[in-house]
Amino acid sequence: MRRSSQAAPAPRRPPQPDGRAAGGLWLYGQHAVAAALANPARRLKRLLVTEEAEGALAARLPGGFRIAPERAERGRFGTFLPEDAVHQGAALLVEPLPNLTLDRAVEHGTGPVLVLDQVTDPRNIGAILRSAAAFGAAALVMQDRHAPPETGALARAASGALEIVPVVRVVNLARTLEELKRAGLWVVGLDGGAPVTLAQSGLGGRRVALVLGAEGEGMRRLTREGCDELCRLPIAPEMESLNVSAAAAVALYELGRS
């Protein structure tokens, strides 16, 4: 495939703090970029790489590039990416992924469905997506009004999982929990004050929708009331709680054992 032999010109507009750009979104870092290039559902617009990064990406993509790479010196990336972006010499301008309907996302696999209630840190959500992919979760559900948009930082934290695990953005979380119940899932809220642990709840054989709330505040009242059951993780009493992404990883592992 032909590529430009000249250094890519810097975009005219200054970088946005979340990597968004006019007409698209910059993904960066070799894991995130390679996964997006391999995802046929992702619409690509422009690929900028250093010489070293182009070789590394080519090794990850046996089918070749779906878009012609443009060479850029490492210093160019600071003109269109956030200042703290760890880009590894690769940046890909893309369109955001389309939002799937809940029923299609549930049918994406047979594993648990993760539901986030007001988790707003994009790096936490990226880390949760990474655990979701690692432990076979079918989808991730977030309320659109209380969740960050797709960003380069989220995609990098997900380390490619953003292209693997379907993300569903919904308007009403309480109503969504009822839809998940009708689809045959047992809705379990993770709560540090619950009377039983996940291991003690006897979930074997049930397909679960696992609900996690924001750190500190936890789940909102209507979300909590919409759960079939509340469970906790068996952490030491000296620690009040875990980071929400760590809690998601532990809970998904435990569900996989049941």
Token pair for residue 77? 């990336």
- Boundaries of every domain in the chain: 20-94, 102-257
Cα 62 to its chain centre, rounded Å, is 24
Residue-averaged pLDDT of the chain: 89
Can you list the positions of beta strands (E) in 72-138?
Answer: 90-94, 113-117
Cα 20-22-23 angle, rounded to 5 deg: 100
DSSP calls for 171-233 = S-HHHHHHHHHHTT-EEEEE-TT-SSBTTTS--TT--EEEEEEBTTTBS-HHHHHT-SEEEB-
Cα 135 to its chain centre, rounded Å, is 13
Token pair for residue 197? 């642990």
- Tell me the fold of 20-94: 60s Ribosomal Protein L30; Chain: A; (3.30.1330)
Per-residue pLDDT of 10-35, as tens digits, reads 454 444 545 556 568 999 999 999 99
Which residue would you say has higher pLDDT here, 91 or 23? 91
pTM: 0.87
One-letter identity of residue 233: L
What's the full length of the chain, in residues?
A: 258
Q: What is the DSSP letter of 10?
A: P
User: Which of these, 193, 237, 180, lies nearest to 219 by C-alpha position?
Assistant: 193
Shared fold status for 20-94 and 102-257: no
Per-residue pLDDT of 162-182, as tens digits, reads 999 999 999 999 999 999 999
- What CATH code would you report for 102-257? 3.40.1280.10
Which residue would you say has higher pLDDT here, 195 or 15? 195
Contact 18, 83 (CB under 8 A): no
Tokens 């000249």, residue located: 6
Q: Is the pLDDT of residue 251 over 70?
A: yes
